[in-house]
Amino acid sequence: MPVERDAAQEDPLRGRHIVLRPLVADDYSQLYEWAAGGLVPWQWQGRPIGPEGFQQTLWSGALAHLVICEPTSAKPIGLFTAYGANFHHQFCYVQMGLVPDVRGHGWPIEAGLLGINYLFLRHNFRKIYGEITSQQVGQYGSAIGPGFDVEGRLIDHLFVDGELCDMIIVSLTRATWEDQLRPVIRRLQSSTREETS
Amino acid sequence: MTLTFDDFVGRVASELGIDVANPARDTSLRDDLMFDSIAVFEFVLVLEELCGVLMPEALLSTIDTLGEAFGWYEVRVGSA
């Protein structure tokens, strides 16, 4: 059955099962709730963040925040963040936080692919780095996937949920994105007729 | 027309650009075909294209074998 191509192909932030959108001021209260509830980038953990300083902290070092949403309800289910961008050396870092009930499924992979695709399309980055914990490898499953090289592992670097865990630095090059991931993304951005139940 | 299991596997393999030797219904995507998570994800995208519908996320984690994927395909295409 042929796939129907549509305008979604032209929108790098729209996938099949989720969409990304830029962060807006109305999202801050939701993000603060997530931060208070533990759904936070690892950099923030251990640091008290009050509501007054939350926005500043959120944007400190950030290049872009993209809210991950369910496409039909527009319900936010996570946040994809690009930070630590260096345009001279042409790299940045990314991380993703997701509400617990969608972790371990396929759609977080979709969010990561869309976010990375957006960054490579929009900016002249050579490499995109990710800093993930050994715990997250289990949560996302895909954190170290094809095309991602492990650049380093900091043993017992973080104290998360009462346990020491490693921090793993992974990277994806522009060439690898172009050769290995873009075909998947092109397929991802084709549409099908309906969602079944 | 609904594909047979062998045709289904051949079609999926062709779309993914892979060879699947001796496919069986209990062939595991992860353990036998050594699919990583992105490969599984792309497999689901192909499956959706064959069926013409999107797969609910809740079902995603229930599909581990070619037979389970074919079963979902049969239900969707058979009911279309």
- The string of pLDDT tens digits covering residues A176-185 is 999 989 989 9
Kindly give the pairing relationship between strand A62-69 and strand B53-54. Answer: unpaired
Quickly count: other Cβ atoms within 10 Å of residue A102's Cβ: 17
- pLDDT band for position A197 (50/70/90)? very low
Name the band, by pLDDT with cuts 50, 70 and 90, for residue A125: very high
> Which residues lie across from A134 on neighbouring strands?
none
d(CA B39, CA A53): 41
What mean pLDDT is predicted for residues B3-26? 92
Q: What's the rounded mean pLDDT across residues A76-85?
A: 93
- Distance, in Å, from the CA atom of A171 to the CA atom of A144, rounded to the nearest integer, reads 9
Both tokens of residue B48? 């959706």
Judging contacts by C-beta atoms under 8 Å, the chain B residues touching residue A104 are 61
Which residue of A1, A70, A101, A113 is the best one to mutate when testing the B interface, meaning the one whose CB has the most B CBs within 10 A?
A1
Residue B75 in contact with residue B51, Cβ under 8 Å?
A: no
Average pLDDT over residues B19-41: 89
Structure letter (DSSP) for residue A100: G
What pLDDT score does A103 carry? 60
Is the pLDDT score of A4 beyond 50?
Answer: no
Distance separating the N- and C-terminal Cα atoms of chain B: 11
Strand partners, A173: A127
Nearest chain B residue to A137 by CA distance is B37
Is the four-CA dihedral A103, A16, A190, A9 of positive or negative sign?
A: negative
Determine what percent of chain A is predicted with pLDDT higher than 70: 79
SS3 B63: coil
The CA R_g of chain B, rounded to the nearest whole Å, is: 11
Q: pTM of this prediction? A: 0.85
- Residue A85: its pLDDT value, please? 97
For residue A1, the SS3 value is: coil
What values do phi and psi take at B76, rounded to 5? -70, -45
Query: What pLDDT, on the 0 to 100 scale, is given for residue B57?
Result: 73
Burial pattern A179-197, b for ≥16 Cβ within 10 A else e, equals ebbbebbebbbbbbeeebe
| Per-residue DSSP letter, B4 | P
Residue with the bigger pLDDT between A107 and B40: it is B40
Which of B41, B50, B76 comes nearest A106 by C-beta? B41
What whole-number distance in Å separates Cα of residue A179 and Cα of residue A196?
A: 32
At residue A80, the 3 state secondary structure works out as strand
- How far off is chain B from A1, nearest CA to CA, in Å? 6
Answer yes or no: is pLDDT of B59 > 80: no
Residues in chain A within 8 Å Cβ distance of B40: 106
Per the prediction, chain B carries an average pLDDT of: 88
The mean per-residue pLDDT over the stretch A109-129 comes to: 94
Q: What is the CA radius of gyration of chain A?
A: 17
The predicted-structure confidence for A18-39, as pLDDT tens digits, reads as follows 999 999 999 998 888 888 776 6
> pLDDT tens-digit profile of A35-77?
877 665 655 556 667 778 888 888 888 999 999 998 888 999 9
Q: Return mean pLDDT, chain A.
A: 82
Q: Which of B78, B75, B76 is nearest to B53 (CA)?
A: B76
- How many other CB atoms are found less than 10 A from the CB of residue B27? 18
Sign of the dihedral through C-alpha B64, B46, B55, A103: positive
